[in-house]
Amino acid sequence: MKLIIRNAALLLLAVASLSACKDKDAEKKIAALEARLSELEGTKTTSPSPVAAPQPVQAEETKPEGPVANIQFEKVEHDFGTITEGQKVSYTYKFKNTGNAPLIIQSAQPSCGCTVPEWSKEPIPVGGEGFVKAEFDSKGKPNAQNKTITVTANTFPKQTTLRFKAMVLPTAPIQ
């Protein structure tokens, strides 16, 4: 019986490791499962724990010399509340350039393909106002949703993260 449980656990570990696709979290989970299996068997594992690949060191962003644009959003978070799956909703984040140079948005990158951003394409003068609009398509996205849009501009810091959430009621029961 013990042999059957051990073989089943090893098979489960093998399947998990093949489907991990070098995902660091999956590797950690596999290592934890192997350690737990060893505890249950009453033996110590001799396999080394996975070593995390070195992360690239990012240089700290330094404030540029001279005049800099500053983006000040009225709000950076929005709650769509409860919507029905398949519904498209949108929200416009308004901002003002409170810096001392014209503001140029280089990109607005959504965290998911279900979100389409639009933004002010022309330079925003000092004291001027602009927008970033987020359109969220809830088709195939039931339950709680938390999404982001990363706005990159000639500001300090370069990136600002906008967030929105929604509770999406499924149109059909989840099976």
Among 63, 100, 92, 65, which Cα is nearest to 162's?
92
CA distance readout (Å), 81 to 41, 89, 112: 49, 11, 19
Supply the CATH number for residue 151's domain: 2.60.40.10
Residue 51 in domain:
no
Residue 29 in domain:
yes
Residue 142 in domain:
yes
- pLDDT single digits (tens) 61-113: 787 788 999 999 999 999 999 999 999 999 999 999 999 999 999 999 999 99
What's the domain range around 126? 71-169
pLDDT attached to residue 147: 97
Residues pairing with 151 in the sheet: 108, 160
**Number of folded domains that form the chain:** 2
**Integer Cα distance of 54 and 48 in angstroms:** 17
Residue 148 in domain:
yes
- pLDDT single digits (tens) 112-168: 999 999 999 999 999 999 999 999 999 999 999 999 999 999 999 999 999 999 999
Q: What percent of the chain has pLDDT over 90?
A: 59
Question: pTM for the full model?
Answer: 0.64
Residue 146 in domain:
yes
Q: Within 19-85, where are the H helices?
A: 24-41
Same domain, 90 and 13: no
